[in-house]
Amino acid sequence: METVKASRWTKGRALLAGGLVLGVGAAATLAAWTDNEWVFGGSGNGDGTGPNTPGTGVYRMQQNTWAGDSGAEKWTDEKDANGGALTFSVDPGKLVPGKTVYSPMQLRTVAGSEALNVSLAEGIQSVLDQGTKNSPALYAALTYGVFKGVGKAACAAGTVNGGSVVVPAGSPLTAVSPTTFPLAAGANASTPGDPENLCFALTLPSTASVDLQGLNTVPVWRFTSSVGQ
């Protein structure tokens, strides 16, 4: 009998010990305390309106080609070819060898935009109206130049000597600018940046073939700016 009692007592102690171990574990879980600290990226109210919250700026430009019969400014955003139409000082469809025609245009940043560095990045022949209305031979024969800082009146008169070169005169129509030029930032959310005057000079060289008579072509150029990688 003593042996049986001892055995029961030993088992009871083991179960009690097990219960105590389980009890300690439960008590530790219930007693856990937590404390959190949150931060947000910036200052202000934490709703995206703070002055230092992460965000993006505006980097956009627009063009004016004085389109239309009135010759008034008409600022547009032309993202696709063919874009805005240059208005030449005389009828460009009546070119003769050695003749140059001129067309003014402007670029500026939109209201609220940051400052930009711009280049004339591409010159192509339009894919529209191929054939005699858009002759590859005439396109290849023509040359051009682009000058910065030449106002509308001076450009129309062919006075480009005071401007700085964007694309050298006599360049093929596919030539691009080797460097960039700046456009000033928009003053505020409702005021665009100051415009930059540009002047295109399009020339039919004096060596042009007689076979180019009666043809037309549609040159297209793309200005571009980029930020980031």
With cut-offs at 50, 70 and 90, classify the pLDDT of residue 15.
very low
Taking residues 5-29, report their average pLDDT.
Answer: 51
Sheet of 181-183: strand order equals 181-183, 116-125, 219-225
d(CA 134, CA 146): 22
Please tell me whether residue 170 adopts helix, strand or coil conformation: strand
pTM beyond 0.85, yes or no: no
Per-residue pLDDT at 119 exceeds 60: yes
Quick check: 102 and 158 in contact, CB under 8 A? yes
67 band by pLDDT with thresholds 50, 70 and 90: confident
pLDDT, tens digit, for every residue of 194-217? 999 999 999 999 999 999 999 999
Cα(215)–Cα(211) distance, integer angstroms = 9
Tokens of 13: 């102690």
Q: Domain extents for the chain?
A: 1-54, 62-225
Residue type, 61: M
